[in-house]
Amino acid sequence: MTEQDGYNLRLYVAGQTPKSIAAIANLKKICDQHLPGRYEIEIIDLMKDPALAMRHQIVAIPTLIRQLPEPMKRIIGDLSNTERVLVGLDIQPN
């Protein structure tokens, strides 16, 4: 895994809501399928660290942010629409 093609993803959730759980599951599934071995997921629970919501400009929950590669991309929703996630993250489907 190199810096260029490595994906650094952050998923913001708020507690263990159905949407949050679905989003985590959907994200893992998509990454495993399309970015095997090239991704890193950080899950941030805003219920535990509410100050981050303001700092990172989070409005909707769940929010997925592609930290790397640049530029930063945002996807909101439970990520159930795989096609949109792929487009949003700029991933060429396998």
Partner 1 sequence: MAGKVRAKPGDLPSIGKSPTGIGGLDEITQGGLPQGRPTLLCGSAGCGKTLFGMTFLYNGAVEYNEPGVFLAFEERPDDLIKNVGSLNYDIEKLIAEKKLAIDHVELERSKIAESGEYDLEGLFIRLGFAIDSIGAKRVVVDTIETLFGGLENEQLLRSELRRLFEWLKEKGVTAVITGERGEGTLTRYGLEEYVADCVILLDNRVHDQLSTRRLRIVKYRGSAHGTNEYPFIIDEQGITVMPITSSGLHHGASNERLPSGIPDLDRMLEGKGYYKGSSILVSGMAGSGKSTVAAHFADATCAAGHRCIYFAMEESPPQIVRNMRSVGIDLQKWVDKKLLRFSARRPSLFGLETHLASMYRDVTEFDPIAVVIDPMSALLGAGVTGDVHAMVLRLVDFLKSRGVTALVTNLGVSGENVTTEIEISSLMDVWLLLYNRESNGEHNRQLYLLKSRGMAHSNQVREFIMSSDGIKLREAYVGPEGVLTGSARRAQEAKEEAAVLIRHQDIERRSRELERRRRETAAQIEILQAQLANEEAEVALLNHEGNAREDQLAADRVTMGAGRQSGARPDKPANKSKMRLDSK
| Binding region for partner 1 (CB under 8 A) | 12, 14, 17, 19, 22-23, 26, 46-47, 50-51, 53-54, 57-63, 73-82, 84-85, 87-88
CB 17 within 8 A of CB 73: no
Least distance in Å: CB of 54 to partner 1? 5
Q: For partner 1, which is the closer residue by CB, 51 or 92?
A: 51
**Burial class (CB within 10 angstroms; exposed 0-12, middle 13-18, buried 19+) of 53:** middle
Least distance in Å: CB of 17 to partner 1? 8
CB 45 within 8 A of CB 77: no
Q: For partner 1, which is the closer residue by CB, 35 or 75?
A: 75
Alpha-carbon span 86 to 4, nearest angstrom: 18
Q: For partner 1, which is the closer residue by CB, 8 or 17?
A: 17
